[in-house]
Amino acid sequence: MPRFGSVEYEKKDNIALMTLDEESKLNALSPGIREGLVAGFKKADRDDGIAVIVVTGKGKGFCAGGDISGMSVTVESGRNFAYDILAELHLPEKIRKPVIAAVQGLALGGGLELAIACDLIIASDKAKFGTPETKVGLVPGFAILRLHQIIGRNKAKELIYGGEMITAEEAHNFGFVNRVVPHDKLMDEAMSWAKQLAERPSLPMQLCKSAINKDLGGVELAYGIDSIAQLFGSDDTKEGIKAFMEKRKPVFSGK
């Protein structure tokens, strides 16, 4: 099967199936996953034979968020990290074709953000969602820009401030998951939905996406970049990341 980085890319008739494939890291946004997502989205968008894209993950994780292992905690590294990853998360919004996230497992932090950047989300009843960044002294740089637009301010604050995991059914009730299906039916249902959308004429679908996403130009990503960069200079973020790597509870000082 063709691969881009750590992402399998399979063309099934006029549907592109992209599968994140770093099970040992729960498909966290490693350099290989990020490279694969960018290359896969661009290939599918340029291919006139592709009408719809489906993104899923292998194993227990759809995507467990940003890969911060080995990252230096400085303002410069934070800015570079945020600049790159937020542009990559913006790709599903920017490309012309509908993108369905088929979430089979954990979608945390950047994984939740990848899912909400897609046009539609179908989730296994075993999937879990969350934005745990505040627990380690960070912010979900993409979710603070998007989640409130999807589910409203108060609900977005509840999820982001609390940082707790929620079930797929709770995510559906919050309003950012479109459908919840039995775990063993997820991919059948996702591909069936994709085939239904692929039967529509492509130009109206592209125009609908363009009109609905017209305010998501990407300029606003600067707020997320600045937020992450600023935090990378704080004592609490350094402590939070250190504690996460050491698998212990962080001790924050408010600085």
- Strands annotated E in 34-97: 52-57, 61-63
Pairing mode of beta strands 61-63, 128-130: unpaired
CA 87 to chain centre: 12
State how far the Cα of 9 lies from the Cα of 5, in Å rounded to an integer. 10
Pick the catalytic residue from 8, 88, 93, 133. 133
Catalytic site includes residue 133 = yes
Q: Cα separation of 139 and 130, whole Å?
A: 12
Active-site position among 88, 113, 169, 239 = 113
Told to judge if 199 belongs to the known catalytic residues of this protein, a careful annotator would answer: no
Cα 33 to Cα 100, 148, 229, 232, 247: the distances in Å are: 17, 26, 22, 23, 24
- The CA distance from 111 to 37, in Å, is 12
CA 238 centroid distance within chain: 24
Q: Say if residues 168 and 124 touch (Cβ distance below 8 Å).
A: yes
Q: Which residues are part of the catalytic machinery?
A: 113, 133
